[in-house]
Amino acid sequence: QRSPTGNCNILVFKLGGTSLSISVMQVNSGIYRVLSTNTDNNIGGTHFTETLAQYLASEFQRSFKHDVRGNARAMMKLMNSADTAKHSLSTLGSANCFLDSLYEGQDFDCNVSRARFELLCSPLFNKCIEAIRGLLEQSGFTADDINKVVLCGGSSRIPRLQQMIKELFPAVELLNSIPPDEVIPIGAAIEAGILIGKENLLVEDSLKIECSAKDILVKGVDESGANSFRVLFPSGTPLPARRQHMLQAPGSISSVCLELYESDGKNSAKEENKFAQVVLQDLDKKENGLRDILAVLTMKRDGSLHVTCTDQETGKCEAITIEVAS
């Protein structure tokens, strides 16, 4: 990030040797916040290599009538050759795999095109794209909400994968000018330089951000009638912060209570963790239907919390302020 005043949403796509990690980050005036992240250990560079090695084994069997899949030594040779070919196919249209005495003295020579590799690995590419879509849905974002995509991890060099990501984010800047397997080391080196003072960062220039110490939750009822809790302010939320929560209540009742709880994140909210409630009384009863109550919660930098509950139909309102315990 070059601009200290930039405001954007970034998706970080890291496809390493053994896993796929995707994160959605928000950058606001130099403040980085991870909104959501997901790691899949079933997709990685080794899975692409294994797919290509299995293809080479089938080609050897077709040519020499020997199945080497049960031979550990032969498969290790094929894995090494497949890994080399995979790297070559990131920049070349084809790669040659030659193995001296692969099995029972038989040499093996096979040419693999990039198109063949992409066809073989198509299911893995689709899994990567589905993982991105799943994280966006989990975060409440669409592809249009993302401003930049950062590629890192050696396997994100694969041209077909980059093309599919670009198709998913057609209007987004794809940051791949730095070799993907060098992005994390370069970033770590820059951060280390800042920490040891290489960038001449003065202590008074550093920015301290007040954050919420605990999870703030609102109590509700699920479809089965059991109590449920929704986190409105996760611990570590930069302050000040504002949240809205819509709750529905039967129109036949004349009062609605909003209960707030806190949790350290390790344990779910309990009755003894309740710290505030707002009661909206003397509401006009309705014979049928539901009433909508809008709760607006504002947490200030000092940690105090202001809560307002408003009946959307009548405009009746109740508000409280919870000060920080001294």
Q: Whole-angstrom Cα distance, residue 300 to residue 112?
A: 61
Residues 6+ apart with CB under 8 A from 171: 144
Contact 99, 108 (CB under 8 A): yes
Q: What domains can you pick out in the chain, each with its CATH number?
A: 1-207 (3.90.640.10), 215-322 (2.60.34.10)
Model pLDDT for residues 141-193, shown as the tens digit of each residue? 899 999 999 999 999 999 999 999 999 999 898 888 888 889 999 988 888 88
- The proportion of the chain whose per-residue pLDDT surpasses 90, expressed as a percent, equals 49
Q: What is the mean pLDDT of the chain?
A: 87
pTM: 0.66
Q: Which two tokens stand for residue 101?
A: 């005495």
Tell me if the bond preceding 240 is cis, omega within 30° of 0: yes
| pLDDT level of residue 238 (50, 70, 90 thresholds) | confident
Q: Which residue has the tokens 């110490």?
A: 213
Return the percent helix, strand and coil in the chain, to nearest 5: 30, 35, 35
Model pLDDT for residues 50-108, shown as the tens digit of each residue? 999 999 999 999 999 999 999 999 999 999 999 999 999 999 999 999 999 999 889 99
Q: How far apart are the first and last CA of the chain?
A: 39
Question: Per-residue pLDDT for 19 more than 90?
Answer: yes
Q: What is the DSSP letter of 56?
A: H
Question: In the prediction, which pLDDT does 109 show?
Answer: 94
